[in-house]
A and B are shown apart, each in its own frame.
Chain A
Amino acid sequence: MTRRQAPALSLALVAALVLMALIYAGSRGLRDFDSALIGYAVGTVFALSGVVYRYTLWVSRPPTGRYFRAGWRDFLSLRNFRRYTLLIPKAWWTDILAQTFILRRGLTRWLGHMAVFWGVVLSCAITFPLTFGWIRFTYTHPDRYEPWVFGVRLGSFPLETVLAWVTFHALDFTAILLLAGLALMLWRRTTDAGLLAIQRFGFDLFPLVLLFAIAVTGLALTGSSLWWEGRYYGFISLTHQVTVVGWLLLLPFGKFFHIVERPATIGITLYQTVSQDIPQHADEQATAACIRCSTPLPSARFVADLRATLGDLGQRYDLGSDHGVLQQYCPACKRALRGQAYYQLAGKRFV
């Protein structure tokens, strides 16, 4: 166990304990806990501690940590809040909710991803509280349901209404949304020559297959109770549970970790906006432009932080005399510098 792993493990343990406490409290001392769903709950606890463990390790990497700390510092500044009030909501919209940057990567890609994203997120938002016992419906005579949320009863509603129907079939809708998205993505992955050439089964295809299995088995549960008089219900339920738990356990490690990582872009956006506006590192030669061609660089703070990060990694690209450090150049000038060095050696010779 390394020095980085110990705190991560502890945090993961704490997170698991907190979640279990919350499950206990939210299910009125396990009275509302549906023991049939225990597999999901246990899987989620493991998934959470895995995510916390992985996340802690992740942000303790030098480059990530630097952004993590700076991002939160920028976020928690009242002055920044006043200056960039709309920046965070806007970033939530472009980076998380609407994912407009994916639109720039391709339309089908965006449509597919939006459908899968919302399908998964909404399903989780429904499933987790249900399996923790945080939401529960009790049946009262003659035809009314009473929803309980975190141990508190929130009125009641009649059984034979659209609202009730929609509530009970919410997961079916999210599953259909998910399937639509998966169809688009699988279609891309089976017809696009570029994707076909470079995709890897474990990282690119298996997650889609897994989500597909979850959505199909979930829908089959509804199908079984509605049309097949409950036949195969036990088997389908078990399969569904296995696939979901599998997905939960994969969350911290495979492709799906990007769900947890993605909000970091908001921090990055904030960091970059703030650093461009305020020259915070006045002690540095505060130019945020390439020292050869004056093309703007992201910001002086960015360059300083990047150099520090490289320093943490034991790398220093100092060109000596008045040539400065490589990171003070734009990419094109870095190439030109190397070219000039090469031609200093080669002159007009042919090899």
Chain B
Amino acid sequence: MAVKTLFVDPTRCIGCRACEAACRECDSHKGESMVMVDFVDRGRSVATQPTVCMHCEDPIAPCAQVCPAVAILITPDGVVQQADPSRCIGCRNCVYACPFGVPKFDVGAKLMKKCNLCYDRTAQGQKPWCAQACPTQALWYGDFEEFAGQRRGHPVDLTRFGEQQVQTRVFHVLPQAAQWLDVSGLLQDAARELHGEAAPREEAWVL
């Protein structure tokens, strides 16, 4: 499988937002970042995670499927592109349909914008700007074999939201072997822990 794609490993992310800054440098959307870095919960941790378009393969691009204007095109090799400016009619279906919270919407320009996997750069053999800049390589670009050869972690391209399963072109890197990233199941675990079912943690310090 020599398909080059992005691997997202939030454990390596340091929240520096170099990816956002770099994304803004792309000639095709200067000044606008299509990558997003979010604090997971700053009230509890400094943990951050980057979000790029996952380029859903199965079901193929929910954003494109719900687009009334057929504005979101998918390249033959599975890259889901941002809305074609001539077609996008500004309904925002894609923004809210996307299971990963990726598309951005420019209200004034009535235009959805999102990550194109930098096909302008990748076509010339360069890495997408975000992965090129990423100082910690939490965003990593290359093919699966290369990844396995260089890095730790277990890449999965399946994410589950309850019964709904989404297979994506972009991989999440998990710290342990798993079939998928089970968002709903893990959230329920988290809620159980938060409500005191887990043992209190030992304090890291002595006052």
Contact = CB atoms under 8 A, between A and B. Distances in A.
A105 B109 contact: yes
B40 A340 contact: yes
A318 interface: yes
Interface string A319-350: 11111001101111111111111111110111
Nearest to B67: A63
Interface in A64-105: 64, 66-68, 95, 101-102, 104-105
B9 interface: yes
A316 B163 contact: yes
B175 A346 contact: yes
Instruction: Kindly name the residue among B110, B153, B175, B190 whose own CB sees the greatest number of chain A CB atoms within 10 A.
Output: B110
B184 A320 contact: yes
Counting contact residues on chain A (CB < 8 A from B), the size range is: 35 or more
A187 interface: no
A341 B69 contact: no
Contact of A104 (B69, B106, B187): B106
Interface string B119-135: 11101000000000000
B38 A302 contact: no
A338 B86 contact: no
A317 B184 CA distance: 9
Interface string A156-193: 00000000000000000000000000000000000011
B49 interface: yes
B41 interface: yes
Contacts, number: 221
Contact of B110 (A194, A197, A265, A338): A265
A322 B119 CA distance: 40
Contacts of A313: 59, 62, 65-66
Contacts of A350: 11-12, 175
Contacts of B152: 351
Interface in B149-207: 151-153, 159, 161-164, 172-176, 178, 181-191, 193
B21 interface: no
A339 B86 contact: no
A348 B204 CA distance: 13
A335 B38 contact: yes
Given A265-B90, A345-B174, A345-B175, A331 B27 contact: no
A176 B99 CA distance: 48
A319 B184 contact: yes
Given A317-B162, A339-B40, A345-B178, A323 B187 contact: yes
Interface of A: 58, 61, 63-64, 66-68, 95, 101-102, 104-105, 192-198, 255, 258, 261-262, 264-265, 268, 271-272, 297-298, 302-303, 306, 309-310, 313-323, 326-327, 329-346, 348-351
